[in-house]
Structures are given as C-alpha cells and as structure tokens.
Structure 1
Amino acid sequence: MATLRISSALIYQNTLTHHFRLRRPHRFVCKSMTKTTPDTTLVELSRRSGNYQPSPWNHCYLLSIENKYASETEVITRDVLKKKVKSMLDDEKKSRLEQLELIDDLQKLGVSYHFEIEINDTLTDLHLKMGRNCWKCDKEEDLHATSLEFRLLRQHGFDVSENIFDVIIDQIESNTFKTNNINGIISLYEASYLSTKSDTKLHKVIRPFATEQIRKFVDDEDTKNIEVREKAYHALEMPYHWRMRRLDTRWYIDAYEKKHDMNLVLIEFAKIDFNIVQAAHQEDLKYVSRWWKDTCLTNQLPFVRDRIVENYFWTVGLIYEPQFGYIRRIMTIVNALVTTIDDIYDIYGTLEELELFTSMVENWDVNRLGELPEYMRLCFLILYNEINGIGCDILKYKKIDVIPYLKKSWADLCRTYLVEAKWYKRGYKPSLEEYMQNAWISISAPTILIHFYCVFSDQISVQNLETLSQHRQHIVRCSATVLRLANDLGTSPTELARGDVLKSVQCYMHETGASEERARDHVHQMISDMWDDMNSETKTACNSSSRSRGFKEAAMNLARMSQCMYQYGDGHGCPEKAKTIDRVQSLLVDPIPLDVNRLG
C-alpha cells in the first residue's frame, strides 16, 4: 500500500486548523456519589473505580517540548539530501535487488512518503518483468530478493502468486532445503505475513519453517553477528507487516546506522526528516493538550482516564505524515471522547443513567440536557459541540452534510456500551460469537474510521458513508476485530479484577472449557485470520484511487497501532506499565541527535 500523499484538494486542512473553534460549555459541579430521586431525597450510590493513575504528562511540560534539530537550516539540508536520494531511485544501473532494498530502506526509515511516484513506478516495472519472466525462487541467492519483492509488491496492492516459492516449498517438504542465508530466511518469514486465506503454502509450509529456522539462529550461542541477531529477534517478536510504522522507523534508524554497508546520505536524510516530522507532531500535541485542558473533563469527571497524549499517540500510528496535522488533531479529539464515554459506561454510570445518556446521543437533542445526571451533561455537550463542529467544517469545505452519519456512529457505539453494561450488571456470560458481534463495534473502530474517512477523503461518497454507517465495510470489521482482540489480550485481567463483562479469552474458556493458555492461543489465531482478510482487501489496491488506498491503509494502521498499544499490557489505561511512556518519549519528545560535520 503506497504511503499517503497530500493533494491540492487538501489545502483546506490548513485553513480548518484556524477555523476549528474550541466550543467551551458552562462548567457543572459533579456530585459524584449521590443522585436525586423523585422525592428529592439523596441516595448513596456505589460507584466502581478503574484505579487509573493520573497522566504521566504534565500540560506545561508538553507545551515546552521542542526539537532543536528541526530548524530552517535542517529543512534546507533535508531538501538537498532528498534530491540525492531521488537520484538513487532514478539510477537505471541498479540491479533488481538493489532497487528492492532501497525501496525497503526508504519505507522502514520513514521517508518513502517523499517518493511515492518513483516507488510506484519502480514496483510497477518490476511487477511487469516478473510476469514476463515468470520468476521463481529456485536459487539460494534469489531467496532474499524474491521474498522481498513478493512482500513489497503485495504491500502495494499488486497481485503476486505464492507459487513463486514452489521450488523452495518442494525442498522444504522433501527436507532438502539447505542454506546459511539467514537474511533470506528472515525475508521469507516477513513475506509470509502478506498471506491471504487462500495462500495455504505460506500458512502451512513457509511460515512455520522460516520461524523455526530463525529461532534456531537466535538460540545458537555461536552466532557472532550481533546486527543480524537483533534483526532476527525483532522479526520473531512481531512481523514487520503488523508493526506500528512510526515506532518501527525509530528502531530501524538505529539498526540501519549499525549496518556495515549503510548509506551515509540515506541515514542522515532519515534522521533529519524524523526530527522535522517530530516537530510537526509536537505542535499537534500542544494543540490537543490545550483543547483537553480547556474541556475541564478531568476536573468534572475525575474517574475517567486522563490520556490525551496516548490518544494523540494512536493518531500518529494511524497517519504520521506531517501534512496531515489537521486529521491527527481531529482524530485525537474523537479518541479522547471515546475514552471518556467508555469510562462512564464501564466504570461509573448506573444502568438508569446509561440508558438516559444513550437516549440523549440517539436523539442528539441538546435541549434535553437537563434530563441527564449532572456529571453527564458536560460530556454530552462537548460531544455534541465537537461533532457538530467537525460536520460544519466538512460542510463548508466539502459541500456535504456528514453529521447524520457521525452522530449515528456515536449512537451505535453507546448502544453497544449499554449492552455490555447490562451483561455485567446481570452477570450474563455471552458466547464468543455473541460477544464479538457486539464487541467489534464497542471497541470504537467503526466510529473512529468513519470520522477519519470524512476528514481524510477529498470527495466524500454518500455510498461509502452508507456502507460505513451500516457496518458493511469488511476491512473496517477486520481492523476492529484485531483492535478488540488485541485490547482483550492486554487489558482483560485488569478489567475483570475491577469488575467487567467477560472478554474474548474468558468467553472462549467458559464456552469450551479450554485453559487460559489455549484460549489466548485461539485469540491470537483469530488475529492472524483477520490479517489474512485485510491482506485480501488490499490485494488489488494498485488499481484503486489514492484516497481509497489511503483509507484502507489507515484501517490496517489502526490494527497495527492496537497491537503496539496492547503488546505488553494495557498501554492506553496504564502507560507506565506497558512501555507506552518510553515509546511516546522516543517518538514525540526526544529528537535524534545530528552530527553536523558528518556529511562534510
């Protein structure tokens, strides 16, 4: 899938940043432990607590951060280096493998968005040559090149058959495959994760074989090549295709610099560009931090997660390129509202209150604000104002009213939250299938992605809006399912301890009598199956419009981000325990130091 590009139709985004207004409602005092009954007596209510820690990020600190390596001088240097890198791409003397490795490096170093046209032209040419020559991987030296080509072509939407590995598969099955080329094995392993459900050879032969070979390599105490060992460990921990792109870029810059054959121009270009992009992200983060502070939601609703930085971190995983700052700001606001409302349903509200709130969102009528409990009024009013404001800006600049679709997505989300609240209150234990029918919507991915579609697309299609609104977009369901399952794997022990509905792991255990280990393995397999479905959805992406490709890539990026956020536990709710703080620090706070004399 090609990296996203800005078009002239998106110039409006810069204008929107100035027009996007903070809509500040009156403040309300929350009597958190009481409610008023019809006879005006006060009744004590038992409220749960998520025991969430305060935000590790101080607002004043966030406003103070800056990247000192992103000055005008660095921008000029970056542009000079960019021309040199472009000449590398245009070099017709490069071999097939050299072309592939350069494209792979540009993507992993996070700078491929500068060269989309050149990369697409090169891959199109390679794909045509592959078709004419019927290339198959039948030599040891071809293993790395063919595996890399297969992965890059499929990643960009070209249709490539798994049959190019038939000779290798025959050797594996006959136990005659012999190679000391661990880089080729790692490339083969990474290629196997671009599989679809129909790719049985990739599933049953190549991936298990490559995984076993890499494990033997890293377990071999005689292995001396530290560079390749780190690469192998990194691959086994999570395949590249599933990784959050920007975080992997930060890792790969360090790894690439250690390579014996690293290109000095390329590494310096990547480091300077990283810092320039980080500076853009820092300005976004300051904006959303001010917005969050001005809402007063953490003061009025002290039980909710104060996670504006983490909510912004999600958006960097969704779309990181510097020209899409407006989208990141809007999507952070959406994420923050999702987090707040989720906590009202999961932790604090009574069923009666939650039914009132759900009805308010369904009716979208601010005149009925007084019907809500006092602590809910501010939250609903901010939701109402922000979503209407987003819809108003879209109407002005894209000439289409999306508010009915946006508000429906919030109503659908709240209804699924209410279902789970009722399950918990009544002690109901759903089957895994029943749980997932509700949970893929309650995880909020459909809500997030319809907002993304509206602010990202050049021209919004009513047909696409209807498809998204009716939950008929398959890639959205796949992405949402990965998000839900990754969330369950990372958060269910904590949530069950405080009191919550059974999650996917526990539903499977209750339904089948399986052990927790077996249930977790089953959920991991469900995630892998969803990736096969998403790969199928993007297999013909090269024939789609750039905006269609961009939306599908964002859906996949949401799945990638979920596996990043919940890789070591609840990285959203408990960032101090799941490496989120370190990851945010490396991506959004700490610049990459530059050696000004290195290029001479």
Structure 2
Amino acid sequence: MDFRTHLQADEQQIFECQMQSQASYDLTQHERRSANYKPNIWKHSFLKSLDSKYHGDDYKRQSQKLIEDVKNMMFVKTENSIAQLELVDIITKLGLTNHFEKEIKETLDTIASVENNNPCIRVTDDLYTTALYFKILGQQGYKVSPDLFGGFMDEEGTLKKSHLSDVKGMLELFEASNLALEGEDILDEIKASSMVALRDSNICDLENNLAKHVVHALELSSHRRVRWFNVKGHIDAYEKDNHVNTILIELAKLNFNMVQAKLQKDLREASKWWNNLGLTQHLNFARDRLVECFMCAVGLNFQPDYTSFRIWLTKVVNLVLIIDDVYDIYGSLEELKRFTNAVDRWDVGETEELPECMKICFQVLYNTTCEIAHEIEEENGWNQVLPQLRKVVLT
C-alpha cells in the first residue's frame, strides 16, 4: 500500500473541489464521504459454523493409500512419453501436484534429457504432442525453445492450414502459446492463429469434453485462471473421460474434500480474528470483505501446509482495503498527513490528534504487523522480520 500515492491523489481531489466551488476548504469541518459499499454477505455466525468430516485420520490413510496406488500403477507402468506428459497434465489440473513432486520431476527430467540429447526423435509432425511437450515443461520451469514449432509454420511465418482443423492440437497449441516470453514472436503468431481456429471450429460436432475444454480456454486461458477454483470442474470433466484412471479420479475427489476442509478451518480462524477486532463497528465507511481477501490468499496457495501464509495474507489484504478507504473516503488532507507520518515513524503516539477510528485503524495495523512478524520468527527461526514487514507497509 503506497500511502504517499494515496496522499497525492487526495490532494489533487481536494484541489479540484476547491476550484469548482471557488471556496476555501475548512479542514476543521471536514465532511465525511461515503462510497456506499454493499453490506458484507458473509456473517461471522455462518463462517463459524463451517465444518467438514474430511479432516480425520481415516481420510488421511485412505488418501495415502490412493497416492501410493497412483505412484505404482501409473508413474511406474507409464513408459510412453506422450502418456507421461498427459499424466502430469491431468495431475496438475486435478490439484494433486504436491503429492507427486518427486515423480513429476523425475519423469520430466528424463523426457527433457532424451529430447535434448536426441532432438531427431521429436515428433515434429504431431502438433498435439509438440504443444503438450512445450506447455508441460514450460510450466514446470524447463527451458524449451519455441523453435520446435517451426515445422508447423509455412514460408510466410503463419500456421500451415493443414493443421487448423486439428481442434485437439489447436487447443493445446493455444494453451502453450500463453507461455510466450518477450521476443518470442512465433508464439504470438501461433496464439492469434490458434485462437481464430478454435473460434471457427464447430463446437456442436466435437466430443462433449473437448467442446467444454475449448469453450473454457476461449473464455479465459488456463494460465490466467486460479488453479484451485478450476479443480472441481476438471474432476467432473475427467470423470466422464474413459481414458482417465478411476483411481486418479477417486484420489482427486478425496483430496478436493480434504483441502476444502482445511480451507474452511483456516477461514474460521481468520473470521474469528476479524470478529474479535470489532473494527467494523468503528469503520462503517470502509469495506468489510474478509472472505474475498481470504480467497485471494487461497488463489496464491491452496496447499494444506500453507495455513499460516493464507491467514497472514488475509489479514494484510484486509487491512490494505481498510486503509485504502481511510485515504480515499474518510480522512481530511491534514488527517492523512498525520496518519502517514505515524506510519513513517511507526509510532502510535503520532495518532493522538486523529479521529478515534483512525487511531484504531493504525493500532490494528501496528499490532497485526508485529504479531505476524513474531509468528514468522517463531515458525521459521528467523530474526529481524518486523523491519522487513515495516518496509512492505511503507512501500
């Protein structure tokens, strides 16, 4: 949150009001504004009631059994490179990568090594395979040259027309093109051509799941979507696909329910913190959006082991919204200068002449930042975390 930027914007707004009214602005009689935000629909009583049976030891044992089955039956017995890439792709979409990090790395290391040492074996006439190879390795951080798509381009640098009717290949190519880096012009051309080809395809004539994937990709490409929010949809789609192992689907369903149970528990804890603060009673002009802030944290990391990260980030984003409204809606120019000075000095005493709600706001910011710093130090054994968090607040 950039306090100085807010201050400059507020000064400009006040100046414009002065010019329009041709009257001086009396800071001692500052009229409080309102953004007329809609009320929060997520009540604490409801969030407190969230519960799930999927956090017991029985489900953990069942999950571990399925994980071992997938390792033994799928990773060990899947030798074909295309099938291995498809397996990694499905596991990623089903939100299961944290259970198979070692196996995925070993598989992709082998595929990348073979391709690098024997470039002649690459299937240059198979658009789907080449695009899948580029996408999966690119997503996992491997360096892959877009030049491997050269065989699919004509002399004018556009996709050969013979490939445009391959909807499955076009779909994978479109997703792969979204990983383009600056200067990779061939991927920009591929993206434009594949998008047109997919839009021109006759969705009604496609197999049901493929049609859904095409519509899904054209609405918003996968790399721009929040991964966890798409897992349930992928489970439903792959459940109807006879080519996907039923054990993998069973694991995905169980894992989804277990992760949801963990996220509900995290949300209950965050809601308890927010409710105990009682800040909404004093800051009725500001947004009350705890659940939305929590969903931002889930979007960055939904894995069960990252509870602390999600709760810390939820608190920070929530306070960012509150302070943003203090600057944009509530405070007068003089009050905002004092508030900014208090943050710069990190001194509660600097807020003495501010309105009560702004005092409370700074006190919550101060206390929460110190608490998060202490928890980080306790969990990780780090030192001097608070000065670093203060720098984040100031910038």
The question of a shared fold, defined as TM-score above 0.5 by the shorter chain, is answered with yes
CA offset digits 1:34-66 (Å, max 9, x no partner): xxxxxxx99543222221111111111111112
Assess if the C-alpha contact under 8 Å between 1:387 and 1:406 holds in 2. Answer: yes
Matched, 1:138 2:124: yes
Which residue number in structure 2 is paired with residue 444 of structure 1? none
Match runs of 1:296-445 below 5 Å: 296-396=278-378, 397-412=380-395
Q: Which has the higher Rg, Structure 1 or Structure 2?
A: 2
AA aligned opposite 1:138 = T
Q: Per-residue deviation at 1:224?
A: 4.5
Aligned counterpart in structure 2 of residue 167 of structure 1, from 144, 151, 155: 151
Q: Alpha carbons of 1:175 and 1:136: their partners in 2 closer, same or farther (altered >3 Å)?
A: same
Matched, 1:194 2:185: no
Q: Per-residue deviation at 1:179?
A: 5.5
Runs of 5+ consecutive residues of structure 2 not aligned to the other structure: 1-25
Q: 2-side partners of 1:269 and 1:221: how far apart?
A: 31
The sequence identity of aligned pairs, in percent, is 37
Assess if the C-alpha contact under 8 Å between 1:358 and 1:411 holds in 2. Answer: no
Which residue number in structure 2 is paired with residue 122 of structure 1? 107
Which residue number in structure 1 is paired with residue 5 of structure 2? none
Aligned residue for 1:84, secondary structure, equals helix
Which residue number in structure 2 is paired with residue 113 of structure 1? 98
AA aligned opposite 1:59 = H
AA aligned opposite 1:192 = S
Q: Per-residue deviation at 1:90?
A: 3.1
Q: Alpha carbons of 1:228 and 1:196: their partners in 2 closer, same or farther (altered >3 Å)?
A: same
Matched, 1:150 2:173: no
Q: Alpha carbons of 1:174 and 1:355: their partners in 2 closer, same or farther (altered >3 Å)?
A: closer
* Stretch deviating more after TM superposition (254-263 or 109-118): 254-263
- Structure 1 segments, 4+ long, off by >4 Å, are 41-44
Q: 2-side partners of 1:212 and 1:342: how far apart?
A: 41
Aligned residue for 1:367, secondary structure, equals helix
CA offset digits 1:50-89 (Å, max 9, x no partner): 2111111111111111223444333222111111111144
Q: Alpha carbons of 1:213 and 1:137: their partners in 2 closer, same or farther (altered >3 Å)?
A: farther
Q: 2-side partners of 1:308 and 1:174: how far apart?
A: 47
* Stretch deviating more after TM superposition (173-182 or 148-157): 173-182
Q: Per-residue deviation at 1:175?
A: 4.3
Aligned residue for 2:115, secondary structure, equals helix
Which residue number in structure 1 is paired with residue 21 of structure 2? none
Assess if the C-alpha contact under 8 Å between 2:135 and 2:176 holds in 1. Answer: yes
Aligned counterpart in structure 2 of residue 236 of structure 1, from 198, 212, 218: 218
Aligned counterpart in structure 1 of residue 194 of structure 2, from 201, 210, 214: 210
Q: Alpha carbons of 1:176 and 1:308: their partners in 2 closer, same or farther (altered >3 Å)?
A: closer
Q: 1-side partners of 2:85 and 2:264: how far apart?
A: 33
Q: 2-side partners of 1:293 and 1:107: how far apart?
A: 36
Q: 1-side partners of 2:331 and 2:235: how far apart?
A: 46
Q: 2-side partners of 1:176 and 1:379: how far apart?
A: 61
Q: 1-side partners of 2:163 and 2:174: how far apart?
A: 16
Q: 2-side partners of 1:58 and 1:192: how far apart?
A: 43
Q: 2-side partners of 1:133 and 1:263: how far apart?
A: 31
Assess if the C-alpha contact under 8 Å between 1:308 and 1:336 holds in 2. Answer: yes
Matched, 1:253 2:235: yes
Aligned residue for 1:371, secondary structure, equals coil
AA aligned opposite 1:121 = E
Which residue number in structure 1 is paired with residue 246 of structure 2? 264
AA aligned opposite 2:387 = P
AA aligned opposite 1:410 = V
Which residue number in structure 2 is paired with residue 56 of structure 1? 41
Question: RMSD value over aligned CA atoms?
Answer: 2.0
Q: 1-side partners of 2:209 and 2:268: how far apart?
A: 37
Assess if the C-alpha contact under 8 Å between 2:159 and 2:193 holds in 1. Answer: no
Matched, 1:85 2:67: no
Aligned length: 367
Q: Alpha carbons of 1:75 and 1:46: their partners in 2 closer, same or farther (altered >3 Å)?
A: same
Assess if the C-alpha contact under 8 Å between 1:362 and 1:408 holds in 2. Answer: no
TM-score of the two chains, using structure 2 as the length reference: 0.88
Aligned residue for 1:177, secondary structure, equals helix
Assess if the C-alpha contact under 8 Å between 2:294 and 2:314 holds in 1. Answer: yes
Which residue number in structure 2 is paired with residue 281 of structure 1? 263
